[in-house]
Amino acid sequence: MGMKEERAVFASSSQNARVMTEDWAKRSLFCPNCSNNSLRPFAANKPVADLFCEACAEEFELKSQARPFGRKVVDGAHRTMIERITAANNPSLILIHYAKETASISKVILVPKFHFSLSAIEKRKPLADTARRAGWVGCNILLDRIPAAGKIPIVTDSLFVPTHSVREKWQRTAFLNSADINARGWLLATIKCVEQTTGPEFHLSQIYDREPQLSAEFPNNRNIRAKLRQQLQVMRDRGMLQFLGNGRYRKTVTFFS
């Protein structure tokens, strides 16, 4: 499975898209964290995760839809989501965009669990008093707050990306796993700022230019510039950047390609 040029198609007779995509995922997906080439489904009553790896115990949640994924993904209860992303066994997210007419999987994106931060979770308005679950509060996952490094393609234009490339991309930023959730938010936001600069090098002022975007994301922080400099140092220590002096930085190619 997962060989290059292999087309991702359903092989299920079910007319139910959810059943079809889950069936496909069960048969076709592999563990990005270890060398295990298959994932197993949880019992149906497991509340947040769908698949897991028997070898390394990584958990995965599937979300599938018939239209391309935009900047937000609707998820479940806000409180559950916050508890989950602060827990050690937080599942990674696998987004599946399928085309029912052609019985094919158009695109699959993996968001590793360590690319989630509190600022990527948006609280929705409580359900109206007239609703069956009045007062229930759901959440959205803001995909545009997740760096490109955290949106790993598994299937593109109905073709599998080579498995080794998926695993390599997962490993690149797996060090984020060790950061505590609050520290991770700033690190992810800074990685995103660096991704938004073009070319192999950038200047500190280009990162400072993102201050308005960051003050929206972190409304309680008054010292954004100091935070950014601190995160750039973390990125340097992790080999993602090189400091060239005079406020100039070079991106490490293997992290930003």
Residues in contact with Zn ion by the rule CB under 5 A: 31, 33-34, 36, 53, 55-56
Nearest to Zn ion of 37, 215 (CB atom): 37
Rounded to the nearest whole angstrom, what is the least distance from the CB of residue 52 to Zn ion in the complex?
9
Per DSSP, the three-state class of 255 is coil
Min dist CB 156 to Zn ion, Å, is 22
CB nearer to Zn ion: give 2 or 185: 2
Distance CA 161, CA 24 (A): 16
Ramachandran category for residue 199: left, alpha or beta (phi over 0 → left; psi -120 to 50 → alpha):
left
Q: How far is the CB of 244 from Zn ion (least distance, A)?
A: 38
Alpha helices per DSSP H over 148-250: 163-172, 181-195, 204-208, 211-217, 224-237
Q: Closer CB to Zn ion, residue 162 or residue 239? A: 162
User: Between 54 and 157, whose beta carbon lies closer to Zn ion?
Assistant: 54
Nearer to Zn ion, 57 or 137 (CB): 57
DSSP-based three-state secondary structure for 167: helix
Query: 70, exposed or middle or buried, with CB in 10 Å at 0-12, 13-18, 19+?
Result: exposed
Non-local (6+) Cβ contacts of 221 within 8 A are 214, 215, 227
In the complex, minimum distance from the CB of residue 31 to Zn ion, in angstroms, rounded to a whole number: 3
- CA 48/CA 89 separation, integer angstroms: 11
In the complex, least distance from residue 32 CB atom to Zn ion, rounded to whole angstroms:
8
